[in-house]
Structure 1
């Protein structure tokens, strides 16, 4: 498993505040179908099944934060980043499930109409 000192757990509220302040780059490591069905606004999709730390976008002065469904895959992606020599250590603890449990908004796909809509 992962040592606690190697992975920094961020709360949904911390991630939301940092997203609103444009202080983080949020990377969703769930698979494309999961991302298409529901996602956090502003997240970029880099699925764990094809995850390559070397192709992650430059974050500039922003903190790169990884996110998945529950926190397990994002922790795995952090481990891959660190093994590849990247100083990425932060993820959304509990993933999008914790985000939604905190009552924070997501973007969803309406399969009946084909439209994308915000879910509050």
Structure 2
């Protein structure tokens, strides 16, 4: 995990391994900022969908119980959203480096689409 101080805020960049371990322990709220179409085709199990165009940092839940970590396809959108959250006054936020592409490259489990049936299916489980 990398940490950057921005004013009084802490901006964190988590690795896939950091996110996978925290997900396993139910320590974070993982928020996917990709489009609904991207999410429906494949997503990290348990990740919540909040597409970037609809993002409003003032509507995020508090982080007293769980840390918020954003992710997208490559890490670009999630970094933008995390930095916007800091600009809105959130003092600690994180995003996953490399996004869903890095997650898949690390062969972490996710929910994909069975192309034969169109049904959701676990991948790398």
**Structure 2, unaligned runs of 5 or more:** none
Number of residue pairs the alignment of both structures matches: 118
The one of 82, 94, 103 aligned to 1:78: 82
Paired residues for 1:55-66 under 5 Å: 55-66=59-70
CA RMSD of aligned residues (A): 1.7
- Partners of 2:51 and 2:25 lie apart in 1 by 25
Q: Which residue number in structure 2 is paired with residue 15 of structure 1?
A: 19
Query: Counterpart of 1:89 in 2: which secondary structure?
Result: strand
Residues 32, 88 of structure 1: CA spacing in aligned structure 2 closer, same or farther, 3 A cutoff? farther
Query: Counterpart of 1:107 in 2: which secondary structure?
Result: strand
Shift of 1:31: 0.6
Q: Normalised by the size of structure 2, how large is the TM-score?
A: 0.86
**Structure 1, unaligned runs of 5 or more:** none
Answer yes or no: is the 8 Å Cα contact 1:30–1:47 preserved in 2: yes
Paired residues for 1:1-120 under 5 Å: 4-6=4-6, 7-120=11-124
